[in-house]
Structure 1
C-alpha cells in the first residue's frame, strides 16, 4: 500500500516531499499544495510522443488535466488505504528474513496484545523467551517463498520432551496468517458452481462435485492438462468411472421406488376415510413426518438421493395438507349454513 501510494505521488509530487515518510506520515502530505508539485507532470514516454505534435496550449491543458487526475487518485488512496493501521504495520515481522531484528520482537509483542484469546497476558513472557531463542536459529529463507511455507521448518522443530520447540510462537503465527484469509475461496467456489450450471444442463450434485474435484486437481498444474502425470491410479479411476455411474443410477432408482412406496402407503386408505378431511390431514402429517425422517437420514449419511426423495415427499405432503385444511374449512362453513 505504501509503495502504491508513493508510486502515484511520484507522478506529480517532488520526491523529497514523501521519500522518507512512513505509511502513517504519508497521510499528512498535502497533495494540493503547489509547493510540493513537480514542474512537469510525469505522463510517460508513449504519451509524450503522442502529444509531440500538439500546440503549446493543448499540451498545457492536457498536463493540467493529468495533474488534476493524479491529485484525485492520491487523495482517494491516502484517505482510504489503512496506512496508519498499526496491526498491518507490525505484520511485517512475519517475514522470516527479519525475525533476527529487534523491531520484530516489538512487533510480535504488540500483535500478541491485540489477540489475547490466542496468547493470554500470563503467557507473554514465555512468548518473549521463544522469540529470543528463535532469533538464534540459523534459518534459510528464499525471498520468493510463501510465508507459511517459510515458517513450516520452525513449526516442526522439536524440544527435549518431543513437543514443539516454539508452541506459543507457532500458535501466534498461525493465528496471524489467518487474518489475511478472507472469504474469497468460498465466493470463488460459488462462482465456479454457477458457471457449471449455466454452461451445462441437467447436472446432478454428483456431477458438480466431480467437475469441481477435477478443477481443483488441475490447479496444481496451473490448469495445463499436458503437464498432469498419467499414473496407474488415474487410469484405474477412469476405467471404473462408468461402473460407478451405473451403480449410482441403480441406487437412485432404488430410492425412487422407496419414495413411491412411501407415498402409496400414506395414501392407501378406505374410500370413506378419503371423504373425511380430518383423516386426510392425519395422513398428510404422517407423510410430512416420513419426509423429514428421510431428509434427516440423508443428511446424516451424506446420501443426496435420500435428501432429494425426502424433499419431493415433503412437497407432496405440504400440498395434501393445504388441500385437506381447505376442505375442512369448507365443511365447517357448510355445516354452519345448514344449522342456520
Structure 2
C-alpha cells in the first residue's frame, strides 16, 4: 500500500512486516535454514529486530518534516514518480533547492522529461531507488552514448545528502549487547 510517509503510523502493527518475512541477510539465514537456531531464540531475535525497525521509523518521523519542500521535491526521484510523467519539469526545484548541483539546467530538464518515455526504464519501476537510478545511469542510446549524464550527476548529488539516525543506532547496539 502506498501512503505518504507523513501519514504512516509507525506503531500500528497492521503496517508491520510479518516476523517470518524479515530478512537479515545470507549469513543469518543460513543457520536458520540449517536448523541451528532454537525456535524461541529465533522468534525473540525477530521481535527485537522488529522493535528496532519500529524505533528507527519513529526516529525518522520525528526528525524529518515530510511537508518540507525539499523532501517533497526529492520524492520526484522515486522510480514510480519519475516514470509517471506527472512532473514535466524539475527546473524550479532544482534551482531553488540544489543550484550547486546544476551545470546546465536545459540539459538536466530535457533528460528528466525523457525518463518518463523510456520503455527500458518502465520495466524497472518496481526496483528500489538506488537500483533504478543505477540502471538508468548505465543506459545508452543507439550511438552508445550515455542517455542521462546531467541527471546522473544531479541525482547522485541528492542521494549523497547527509542524514542521521543516531538514536536508532544506539538502540541497535542495545540489541547486540
Q: TM-score, normalised by structure 2?
A: 0.51
Q: 1:3 to 1:112 in 2, by over 3 A?
A: same
Alignment of 1:8-157 (within 5 A): 82-106=65-89, 108-113=90-95, 114-120=97-103, 123-138=104-119, 139-141=122-124, 143=126, 145-157=127-139
CA deviations on 1:148-207 (whole Å, 9 max, x unpaired) are: 01222211012456442110111111111222x52559x96xx97xx8xxx9xxxxxxxx
Structure 1 CA distance, aligned partners of 2:154 and 2:88?
A: 13
Alignment of 1:1-340 (within 5 A): 1-4=5-8, 82-106=65-89, 108-113=90-95, 114-120=97-103, 123-138=104-119, 139-141=122-124, 143=126, 145-159=127-141, 162-179=144-161, 181-184=162-165
Residue by residue over 1:281-323, the C-alpha shift from the partner in whole angstroms, topping out at 9 and shown as x without a partner, is xxxxxxxxxxxxxxxxxxxxxxxxxxxxxxxxxxxxxxxxxxx
> Displacement of 1:117 after TM fit?
1.4
Instruction: Identify which of structures 1 and 2 has the higher relative contact order when contacts are C-alpha pairs closer than 8 Å and 6+ apart.
Output: 2
Matched residue of 2:74: which SS? helix
Q: Structure 1 pair 149/127, CA: closer, same or farther in 2 (3 Å)?
A: same
- State the alpha-carbon separation in 1 of the partners of residues 132 and 67 from structure 2: 27
Shift of 1:95: 1.7
Equivalents in 1 of 2:64, 2:165: separation in Å? 20
| Structure 2 CA distance for aligned equivalents of residues 172 and 81 of structure 1 | 22
How far 1:3 sits from its partner (Å)?
Answer: 1.1
Tell me, which stretches of 5 or more residues in structure 2 are unaligned? 13-60
- Deviations along 1:248-296, one digit per CA (max 9) or x if unpaired, are xxxxxxxxxxxxxxxxxxxxxxxxxxxxxxxxxxxxxxxxxxxxxxxxx
CA distance in 1, matches of 2:164, 2:67: 24
Structure 1 segments unaligned to the other structure (5+ residues): 9-76, 200-340
Matched residue SS, 1:117: helix
Q: 1:4 to 1:97 in 2, by over 3 A?
A: closer
Distance 2:112 2:125 in 1: 21
Q: Whole-Å Cα distance in 2 between the matches of residues 82 and 112 of structure 1?
A: 19
Distance 2:143 2:80 in 1: 28
The TM-score normalised by the length of structure 1 is 0.29
Q: Distance in 2 between matches of 1:150 and 1:101?
A: 14
| Deviations 1:49-90 (CA, angstroms, capped at 9, x unpaired) | xxxxxxxxxxxxxxxxxxxxxxxxxxxx8x986243111112
Q: Secondary structure at the match of 1:158?
A: coil
Between Structure 1 and Structure 2, the one with more helix by share is: 1
1:103-150 per-position Cα deviation (integer Å, ceiling 9, x unaligned): 3333x3233212121113xx111112112222211121354x321012
RMSD, aligned CA: 3.7
| Preserved CA contact (<8 Å) 2:6 2:67 | no
